[in-house]
Structure 1
Amino acid sequence: MARREVVGRYKGSAMGLLWSLINPLMMLVIYTFVFSVVFKAKWHAGDAAEPRSQFAILLFAGMIVQAFFAEVLNRSPQLIVANANYVKKVVFPLEVLVAVVTLAALFHTVISVGVLLLAYAVVHEGLQWTAVFLPLVFLPLAMLSMGCGWVISSLGVFARDIGQIVGVLTTVLMFLSPIFFPVSALPPSIQPWMQLNPLTFIIEQTRAVLIFGQLPDWSGLASYAFFASMAAWAGYAWFQKTRKGFADVL
Structure 2
Amino acid sequence: MLKPLWAFRGFILGNVTREFQSKYRNSLLGAAWTVLNPLAMILIYTVIFSEVMRAKLPGVDSTFAYSIYLCAGVLTWGLFAEITSRAQNMFLEHANLLKKLSFPRLCLPVTVVANALLNFGIVFGLFSVFLLVSGNFPGWAYFALLPLLVIQVGFAIGLGISLGVLNVFFRDVGQFFGIFIQFWFWLTPIVYSVHTLPEFVRPWLALNPMASLIAAYQTILVTGHWPQWQTLWPITLLALLLCALGFRLFRMHSGEMVDEL
Q: Which of 202, 209, 213 is residue 213 of structure 2 equivalent to?
A: 202
Question: Does the Cα contact within 8 Å between 1:61 and 1:116 map onto a contact in 2?
Answer: no
Question: Does the Cα contact within 8 Å between 2:88 and 2:167 map onto a contact in 1?
Answer: yes
Residue 77 of structure 1 corresponds to which residue in structure 2? 88
Q: CA 1:147–1:74 in structure 2 vs 1: closer, same or farther (change >3 Å)?
A: same
Q: Which of 222, 225, 228 is residue 217 of structure 1 equivalent to?
A: 228
Q: Please give the alpha-carbon distance, in whole angstroms, between the structure 2 residues aligned to 1:231 and 1:132.
A: 26
Q: Which of 15, 20, 40 is residue 29 of structure 2 equivalent to?
A: 15
- The answer on 1:108 being equivalent to 2:122 is no
Q: CA 1:120–1:110 in structure 2 vs 1: closer, same or farther (change >3 Å)?
A: same
Q: Deviations over 1:52-90 (max 9, x none)?
A: x32111011100121111111222332111111222112
Q: Please give the alpha-carbon distance, in whole angstroms, between the structure 1 residues aligned to 2:192 and 2:72.
A: 12
Give the deviation of 1:208 after TM superposition.
1.8
Residue 150 of structure 2 corresponds to which residue in structure 1? 139
Q: CA 1:125–1:163 in structure 2 vs 1: closer, same or farther (change >3 Å)?
A: closer
Give the deviation of 1:46 after TM superposition.
4.2
Residue 57 of structure 1 corresponds to which residue in structure 2? 68
- Relative to total residues, which structure has the larger helix share, 1 or 2? 2
Q: Which of 131, 143, 151 is residue 120 of structure 1 equivalent to?
A: 131
What TM-score comes out, normalization by structure 2 length? 0.86
- The answer on 1:48 being equivalent to 2:57 is no
Q: Please give the alpha-carbon distance, in whole angstroms, between the structure 1 residues aligned to 2:136 and 2:203.
A: 36
- The answer on 1:35 being equivalent to 2:84 is no
What TM-score comes out, normalization by structure 1 length? 0.90
Q: Please give the alpha-carbon distance, in whole angstroms, between the structure 2 residues aligned to 1:125 and 1:183.
A: 22
Question: Does the Cα contact within 8 Å between 1:157 and 1:249 map onto a contact in 2?
Answer: yes
How many residues of Structure 1 are paired with residues of Structure 2 in the alignment? 246
Give the deviation of 1:230 after TM superposition.
1.8
Question: Does the Cα contact within 8 Å between 2:88 and 2:164 map onto a contact in 1?
Answer: yes
Q: Please give the alpha-carbon distance, in whole angstroms, between the structure 2 residues aligned to 1:46 and 1:94.
A: 48
Residue 163 of structure 1 corresponds to which residue in structure 2? 174
Residue 240 of structure 1 corresponds to which residue in structure 2? 251
Q: Percent sequence identity over matched residues?
A: 29
Give the deviation of 1:130 after TM superposition.
0.8
Q: Give unmatched runs, 5+ long, in structure 2.
A: 1-14
Structure 2: which amino acid aligns with 1:41? M
Structure 2: which amino acid aligns with 1:48? D
